[in-house]
A = this chain, B = another copy of it.
Amino acid sequence: MSTLDANWFTEIHQDAGSAFSLRIRRKLADERTPYQHIEVFETTDFGNFMVIDGCTMVTARENFVYHEMMTHPVLYTHAAPRDVLIIGGGDCGTLREVLRHPEVASAVQVEIDERVTRLAEQYFPELCELNHDPRATLIFGDGIQWVKDAPASSLDVVIIDSTDPVGPAEGLFSRPFYADCLRVLRAGGMIVQQSESPLLHLKILRDMHSAMRDAGYADVRTLHFPQMIYPSGWWSATVARKGEKIEGLREVDVAARPFETKYYNADIHRAAFVLPTFLREALA
């Protein structure tokens, strides 16, 4: 049996009985903020690697799947996504993908912990390359309160790019928060939230569907994608829409997109929403 020495970072998924490790060269940063413990490592094979409270967050090599799938499916379904809010998303990779859409006029990011963004600027500059876009506003504060205070019908898309539903992010996985988001969305507006592993966290997914439907969204759908560094290597995002079905992929715009994607394309868009039998049954 192999053993891992001090050259490895390991995240143990206690509830799942599994663990995932990356081989590291050195630690680049280690900070305890008022919110959490942030570490950044240089790995041997995945570039720089951020860890929050012992949980793998992002690596330079494979974050493209997550960031593309948290943004483009929703932004290419909405007919005209002009005003976008990102809650969490401190590494700024989601913000970058949002700002690649020329139809976006304003992207506000509300991250609770400024240090996540400052460390991302230092160690993941490629994710932060659009932070100074004139359409971007970076706010460091409480996303739940920000949504409560926002005017009704003022946003087209809300992206909830948070950590797991424990600690600071817990309130983001709740019916009252989803109801607040519904209020600030315009007609046809959409929310998308990372929704954990289909294999390991089926109850969270089921509860999110219920809470979003109860909050009054007209349609709720889950999409899924590989995500190597998260528990089980398989991840999901759940989309809900105000007053309309989650339909209407702007296929012509996807084909003519003025930027490159490494994972996303129009066929992947449709395929990602196709559910395996057990998941279809669980979310029916």
Contact = CB atoms under 8 A, between A and B. Distances in A.
Interface stretch (A105-113, A114-122, A186-194, A273-281): A273-281
Interface string A196-231: 001100000000000000000000000010111000
A165 interface: no
A228 B2 CA distance: 19
Contact of A270 (B1, B45, B228, B271): B271
B233 A262 contact: no
A153 interface: no
A265 interface: yes
Nearest to A281: B262
A268 interface: yes
Contact of A232 (B10, B19, B226, B264): B226
A103 B4 CA distance: 48
Interface stretch (A20-28, A74-82, A128-136, A175-183): A20-28
Contacts of A275: 267-268
A54 B8 CA distance: 18
Contact of A233 (B4, B234, B271): B234
A4 B6 CA distance: 11
A230 to B, nearest CB: 8
A3 interface: yes
A3 B19 CA distance: 10
B268 A277 contact: yes
B22 A12 contact: no
Contacts of A45: 16-18
A140 interface: no
Interface centre among A2, A233, A275 (most CB of B within 10 A): A233
24 contacts: A2-B12, A2-B19, A3-B10, A4-B19, A10-B19, A17-B44, A18-B20, A18-B22, A18-B23, A18-B46, A18-B228, A19-B19, A20-B21, A21-B21, A226-B234, A228-B232, A228-B233, A233-B234, A261-B277, A262-B278, A263-B276, A264-B277, A265-B277, A270-B271
Given A17-B22, A17-B43, 13 more contacts: A1-B10, A3-B4, A19-B22, A20-B20, A20-B21, A226-B226, A228-B234, A234-B234, A263-B277, A267-B275, A268-B275, A268-B277, A271-B274
